């Protein structure tokens, strides 16, 4: 479904992502691990179209994404949940999620973000989808509350609901478990496993290597922007280069 070839991005003199080639199959759950600064978030931002590569290509279903902007990629079904919590303040939890249904169009995104009036039938449809997404992540009881009143764990769930509301084909999760308590982590891991079972293609960046090992079909390991290992969780975990990269952190 997704293939990157020779993907590179540098900031000043530092290569954040260097000559990365990887292929993710439809329905796969791919774990992406690596020490801090390995280039994991940069890779996701390149795929989602929030950054432009210096070199290399990204193909979705065999078609190059080229210079397609982020909202165009969202329309093709690429959804990203960012590492840092991003909720729209001054909006309810439900309104925050409804923004996700419009991420695929620039106009729609702003219509939702600014809460401009919309055709009421369309509005109801999107509201239903938002409520379904909220139910999926266990936030039904929070729908009418201000988004900024949510504890961190629920803000994460909110972002996940927003991504799901758009009906994605490829879900990019950037350290979704960071800052969560043990029980919240378990609930999140269960939800990710469920989405995977439902056939969603997922790329998961996570610091919690045990969680990735449990969930992923395959794992790609990045270090200093390069792929240093790629394979089944068992193979990757015992790879001496992986052990060295983590011990060197
Ligand atoms: P990871 O998510 O694996 O921790 P990042 O992709 O965030 O790694 O960062 C990879 C490297 O690129 C790091 O050295 C980081 O400092 C650098 N970097 C990332 N984003 C920027 C940016 N916007 N400007 C300058 N340097 C950046
Ligand atoms: Mg990161």
Q: Write out pLDDT tens, residues 155-206.
A: 989 999 999 998 999 999 999 998 888 998 999 999 999 999 999 999 999 9
CATH 3.40.50.300 fits 1-77+169-249, yes or no: yes
pLDDT value of residue 106: 55
| Three-state SS at 33 | strand
Instruction: Decide: 38 in ligand 1 pocket, CB within 6 A.
Output: yes
**pLDDT bracket for residue 109 (50, 70, 90):** low
The CA-CA-CA angle for residues 65, 71, 73, to 5°, reads: 30
Tell me the CA–centroid distance for residue 46 and ligand 1, in Å: 12
Instruction: Decide: 41 in ligand 1 pocket, CB within 6 A.
Output: yes
State the number of CA atoms in the 13 A half-sphere of 119 facing the CB.
4
Q: What residue's CA is closest to ligand 1, atom 26?
A: 11
**pLDDT bracket for residue 121 (50, 70, 90):** confident
Strands 226-231, 170-174: parallel, antiparallel or unpaired by DSSP?
unpaired
Tell me the CA–centroid distance for residue 36 and ligand 2, in Å: 7
pLDDT value of residue 86: 77
pLDDT value of residue 115: 65
Strands 55-60, 2-11: parallel, antiparallel or unpaired by DSSP?
antiparallel
pLDDT value of residue 9: 98
- The string of pLDDT tens digits covering residues 1-11 is 999 999 999 99
| Residues, CB-to-ion distance under 5 Å, ligand 2 | 40-41, 83
Which CATH superfamily does the domain covering 83-167 fall into?
A: P-loop containing nucleotide triphosphate hydrolases (3.40.50.300)
Instruction: Decide: 243 in ligand 1 pocket, CB within 6 A.
Output: no
pLDDT value of residue 118: 61
pLDDT more than 90, % of the chain: 73
- Residues 25-62 as b/e (b if ≥16 CB within 10 A, e otherwise) read eeebbbbbbbbeebbbbbbbbbbbbebebeebebebee
Instruction: Decide: 40 in ligand 1 pocket, CB within 6 A.
Output: yes
Residue ranges of the chain that CATH labels 3.40.50.300: 1-77+169-249, 83-167
Instruction: Decide: 39 in ligand 1 pocket, CB within 6 A.
Output: yes
Q: What residue's CA is closest to ligand 1, atom 5?
A: 39
Residue 112 in this model has a pLDDT that exceeds 60: yes
Instruction: Decide: 120 in ligand 1 pocket, CB within 6 A.
Output: no
* ipTM summary value: 0.98
pLDDT value of residue 242: 85
Q: What residue's CA is closest to ligand 1, atom 17?
A: 16
pTM: 0.91
pLDDT value of residue 175: 95
Mean pLDDT of the chain, nearest integer: 91
Instruction: Decide: 4 in ligand 1 pocket, CB within 6 A.
Output: no
pLDDT value of residue 142: 96
- The string of pLDDT tens digits covering residues 29-71 is 999 999 999 999 999 999 999 999 999 999 999 999 999 999 9
Mutation probe of ligand 1 site: the residue of 9, 14, 16 with most atoms within 8 A of C-beta: 16
Q: What is the rounded CA–CA span in Å between residue 200 and residue 170? A: 7
Give the number of whichever ligand sits closest to the CA of residue 220: 1
């Amino acid at each position: 479904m997704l293939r990157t070839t020779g993907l590179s991005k540098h900031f000043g003199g530092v290569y954040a992502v260097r000559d990365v080639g990887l292929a993710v199959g439809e329905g796969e759950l791919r774990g992406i691990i690596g020490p801090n600064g390995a280039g994991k978030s940069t890779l996701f931002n390149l795929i989602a179209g929030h950054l432009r590569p210096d070199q290399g290509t990204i193909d979705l279903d065999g078609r190059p994404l080229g210079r397609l902007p982020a909202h165009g990629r969202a329309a093709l079904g690429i959804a990203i949940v960012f590492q840092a919590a991003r909720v729209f303040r001054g909006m309810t939890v439900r309104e925050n999620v409804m923004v996700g249904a419009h991420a695929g169009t620039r106009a729609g995104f702003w219509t939702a973000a600014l809460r401009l009036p919309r055709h009421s039938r369309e509005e109801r449809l999107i509201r239903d989808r938002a409520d379904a997404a909220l139910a999926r992540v266990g936030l039904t009881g929070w729908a009418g509350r201000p988004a900024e009143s949510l504890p961190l764990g629920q803000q994460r769930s909110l972002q996940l609901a927003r991504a799901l509301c758009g009906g994605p084909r490829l879900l990019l999760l950037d350290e979704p478990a960071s800052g969560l308590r043990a029980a919240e982590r378990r609930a999140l891991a269960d939800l990710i496993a469920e989405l995977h079972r439902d056939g969603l293609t997922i790329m998961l960046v996570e610091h919690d290597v045990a969680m990735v090992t449990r969930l992923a079909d395959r794992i790609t390991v990045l270090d200093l922007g390069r792929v240093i290992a790629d394979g089944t969780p068992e193979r990757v975990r015992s790879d001496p280069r992986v052990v060295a990269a983590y011990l060197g952190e």
